[in-house]
Amino acid sequence: MSELQELVDGVYRDLKSHIGEGKVADYIPELAKVDPKQFGIAVATLDGSFHIAGDADAPFSIQSISKVFTLTLALGMAGDTLWTRVGREPSGTAFNSIVQLEYEKGRPRNPFINAGAIAVADMILAGHQPREAIGEIVHFVRFVSGDDSIAIDHEVAKSETGTGYRNFALANFMRSFGRLNHPVEHVLGVYFHHCALAMSCRQLARAGLYLAAGGRNPVLDSRVVSRERARRINALMLMCGHYDASGDFAYRVGLPGKSGVGGGILAVAPGKASIAVWSPGLNEYGNSLVGTAALELLAQRTGWSVFGT
């Protein structure tokens, strides 16, 4: 057994007793039903090997982690003109805050807060029907992960559509400033569906490899983005990937990462590995409690922090 596998097993073992801690997201009814007693880790290294532990093959709702993929896709479509519509700064506020939008006239601070991801969804809609845009996203995620079995959980998408008032508020607010080019219902249709993608830790770690490997997925041997763009997406993940707890994540873990309210986190160790963890219980900031702890231990023990060994 490899050293890294032992290390992954050790992290799993050390946190096992904490499985189930934290609070499962309950504002999306369908997510509230998930069994909190699950915990998976998957580490994909650049040579294409996987090191997993726990529930690494159980699919879960990736939620906001999907914003990494839609950002990548939209950058591919729109290039750097994307930044005329969305900023690149931490917001200093919660993921669903609307205050900053009012002060900055409907322009979201970054593509990872909800408002920013809604603007990105609007860009992906350009020239498409909602169904097609959703298809593009699914296609892209299957491509980067090299796995055609990945699909949207329509029950989750439906559940969010029916209760996502805050997102309807954000989208309408941006629309009132002329910041969306498509009907709010279409934009949110795309947004809710890509958030409802179901993936396992293994699939997610594989999908994130292009960010660890300078823009190429080494397993699939295909280029996804340029080296420079991979670096920049990593920078955005580090700065903004955990909303108003991004500083804490950088401090404790030291890796670019993106969390989802379903309890998953995708983290990137540039030049080394793509890591996915999952456990549904959330901490006070809405990030996986056990998942964050796992990444902290893993980064410590591997010395993969981007801030020094």
Report if residue 79 touches a copy of itself, rule: CB under 8 A.
no
Sorted by sequence, the CB contacts under 8 Å of residue 10 that are 6+ apart come out as: 297, 301
- Token readout for 127 is 């020239």
Q: Which of 58, 168, 223, 301 binds a copy of itself (CB under 8 A)?
A: 168
Distance CA 153, CA 211 (A): 25
Active site residue 97: no
Q: How far is the CB of 131 from a copy of itself (least distance, A)?
A: 23
Q: Is 12 a catalytic residue?
A: no
Contact status: 93 vs a copy of itself (CB under 8 A) = yes
Is 287 annotated to bind a ligand? Reply is: no
**DSSP secondary structure string for all residues of 69-80:** HHHHHHHHHHGG
Tokens of 93: 């506020």
Residue 241 or residue 264: which is nearer to a copy of itself going by CB?
241
**Contact status, residue 48 vs residue 273, Cβ threshold 8 Å:** no
- Which residue's CB is nearer to a copy of itself, number 36 or number 286? 286
Beta bridge partners of 52: 42
The response to whether 243 counts as a known ligand-binding position is: yes
Q: Which of 190, 224, 243, 277 is catalytic?
A: 243
Instruction: Say if residue 160 carries a ligand binding annotation.
Output: yes
Beta carbons of 146 and 219 less than 8 angstroms apart: yes
Q: In what order do the strands lie in the sheet with 151-152?
A: 60-61, 197-199, 151-152
Point out the annotated binding site. Answer: 64, 114, 160, 167, 191, 243, 261
Kindly list the residues in this chain that would bind a copy of itself in the complex (CB under 8 A): 87-93, 97-103, 109-110, 165-166, 168-173, 175-176, 184, 211-212, 214, 227, 230-232, 234-236, 238-240, 244-248, 250-251, 254, 256, 270-271, 305-309
Question: Which residues are annotated as catalytic?
Answer: 64, 67, 191, 243, 261
